[in-house]
A = this chain, B = another copy of it.
Amino acid sequence: MTRPCIICVAITGSVPTRADNPAVPITVEEQIESTHEAFEAGAAICHAHVRNDDETPTSDPEKFARLKEGLEKHCPGMIVQFSTGGRSGAGKARGGMLPLRPDMASLTVGSNNFPTRVYENPPDLVDWLAGEMREYDIKPEIEAFDLSHIFQAAKMNREGKIPGHLYIQFVMGVKNAMPADRDVFDYYLHTVKRLVPDAEWCAAGIGRHQIELNEWCIAAGGHART
């Protein structure tokens, strides 16, 4: 099975600051510039978080709106994916930008531990976010931080809560969640093929794990993420 390789660029993320890496784009203008470079280099999807001026993560719809507008202008045809991740807000604030109708949005369908806290995705919030994505015709990228999240996504797919072909990202290497483990990666893939054979999938690693995961991913016919 060969498939075109989709390269997904994650600009900024929600954690690193300029103190970690002076090259991290913080303002919307910097994000657009940085994505434009990745787009010229061949990236097809932009996974986006936005930041406040003090570099803390936010879900501010106004910032997401400016980002989307800039990306549409500078990177025509690029798939724009907004993060609904929990570091940037609590409860329904995490989905407050979905009426902007990005092409895609991230969706975590279960809960798990993060390095210092619980990544909380209670069932009613997950259902609400999925409902907003249906309403605004947004393709979810399922963020699978653990094996049960694949089962939950498959169940929501069967129930019509996440219609169409699933797009699942395996997230590995986050401390206190699933480590970057090749045997588990293969089992994730086996499980996706068993439960939702028509799903697409990719993998994201944290920091030094990303390159390794890209290699596993491309070797197995998935997409790459930078």
* Chain A interface residues (CB < 8 Å from chain B): 110-113, 115-124, 145-148, 151-152, 176-179, 181, 183-184, 187, 191, 194
* Neighbouring B residues of A110 by C-beta, 8 Å: 112-113, 146, 176-177
Most buried by B among A117, A147, A181, A184: A147
CB < 8 Å neighbour of A148 from B116, B117, B145: B145
Q: Are B113 and A121 within 8 A (Cβ)?
A: yes
- Whether the Cβ atoms of A176 and B112 lie closer than 8 Å is no
| Docked CA distance A110–B152 (Å) | 17
Contact, CB under 8 Å: B178 / A148: yes
A52 to B115, CA, bound (A): 35
Which residues of chain B are within 8 angstroms of A121 by Cβ–Cβ distance?
Answer: 113, 118
Residues of B within 8 A of A111 (CB): 111-113, 118-120
Residue of B nearest to A154 (CB): B179
Q: From the candidates B120, B179, B191, name the one contacting A151 in the complex (CB within 8 A).
A: B179
Contacts of A177 in B (CB 8 A): 110, 148
Whether A122 and B117, one on each chain, are in contact in the complex, defined by CB atoms closer than 8 angstroms, is yes
Closest CB of chain B to A178's CB: distance in Å? 4
A129–B173 Cα gap in the complex (Å)? 24
- When A117-B123, A122-B118, A176-B123 are in contact, do A151 and B112 touch as well, CB less than 8 Å? no
Contact between B116 and A123, CB atoms less than 8 A apart: yes
Query: Could you list 14 examples of A-B contacts with CB < 8 Å?
Result: A110-B113, A110-B176, A112-B112, A112-B148, A115-B123, A118-B121, A118-B122, A146-B147, A146-B148, A147-B147, A147-B148, A151-B181, A183-B194, A184-B191
